[in-house]
Amino acid sequence: MYVQLINQVLTLEGELNKLTVPIAYKELKKTLKDEVITMIDLGKVSMIDSAGVAFLDELQELMADRTEIMLFKGAKPEVQAVINTFSSNKLKSFAPQKSTGYFEGLGDLVLNFGKGIFDAILLASDVFYFSLVGLINHKEQRKGSLTQQATLLGSQALPIVALLSFIIGLILSLQSGVLLRDFGAGVFLADLLSVTMVREMGPLITSIIVAGRSGSAIASEIATMQVTEEIDALKMMALNPIRYVVVPKFHAITIVMPILVAFSILVSELGGWFIAIGLLEIAPETFISRSIEILSIKDIIISFGKSIWFAWTIVIIGSYYGFKVKGGAEGVGKATTSAVVTSIFAVIFFDAVFSLLYL
């Protein structure tokens, strides 16, 4: 590679590639500090690659503050074609994005949150409307979809609900029974456990389990259908996705959630029954009678009402994140995680609201 700089004209000769560029740059390094290049003669350059083009672009950047323009002359057609292909000087430069201020970011967060709430309310209104219509008109619903969803959301959740409810009833009775025994009030364990499980822990624990198990399944199923364009295919066939996909789940979970809550209460009472007999030496018939007598119709209505409301919340939140998914498999995972976290938070929040309302 031959390099010569005379009268601000740089003459290059030979091959300008990744092997010769370091040599050429080394020869020019000392000269470029004092000299100015206004023109580069490429007439004798026989071959150039991307490294050579990067070398020419670097020369232009170094001379940018010393000369207004740098010209190229004599380049062969094949050499000029490579320069046009790999040169970065013609690319548009984008100004760095202005950083968002604190109040701008806070306002954007509030607006996005408000838009999300609005979209969720619209989705909930559609779900409630088509659910009511679906009770009379079963059009656009798969045959046997209600039974299938009731099995997936309900009966298959019984083992995990039974296990956790039994353990919770056992722990609550054990911790409370020790304290009550010290005060000679062990017989009141039945009252405490019955009210606690019926009014609070039964619906709450069951809903959290269903949110983690069934809520994630709802979100991932709808998100996968959205990513694989099955939702668009349903629209092309004049089928409403909410009516076809969400409504059967809504009907099924409305039916099975009170059953799961009742099952959870009975199993937790069984756990407390073991502690009452074994630790506190309470007669079995006394435990059962006090557990029933302490309850009122209001407690049962509150328990089942909360369970149905929590069930609706889980389905709507799971469907919302499923329909809003973007991207591929990564988006499905994010939607599922967001649905579970939001559902559990919403269940606990609404449980606190209910507690304030009926106290």
End-to-end Cα, the chain, rounded Å: 91
- Provide the residue ranges of all domains of the chain, joining segments of one domain with +: 2-86, 106-358
Question: Closest Cα partner for 13 from 36, 37, 47?
Answer: 47
pLDDT digits 0-9 by tens, 72-108: 777 888 888 888 888 877 666 556 667 777 788 888 8
pLDDT digits 0-9 by tens, 129-142: 998 888 887 776 77
Length of the chain (residues)? 359
Residue 329 has phi, psi (to 5 degrees) of -60, -35
Average pLDDT over residues 305-315: 94
pLDDT digits 0-9 by tens, 229-251: 888 898 888 888 898 889 999 99
Instruction: Output the CA torsion 153→159→165→166 (10° steps).
Output: 170
Q: Are 123 and 320 in contact (CB under 8 A)?
A: yes
- Our CA angle for 169, 203, 283, nearest 5°, is 30
pLDDT digits 0-9 by tens, 277-292: 888 888 888 889 988 9
DSSP 103-116: HHHHHHHHHHHHHH
Is a pLDDT exceeding 90 seen at residue 35? no
Q: Which two tokens stand for residue 85?
A: 């292909």
CATH topology of domain 2-86: Transcription Regulator spoIIAA (3.30.750)
Band (328; pLDDT cuts 50, 70, 90): confident
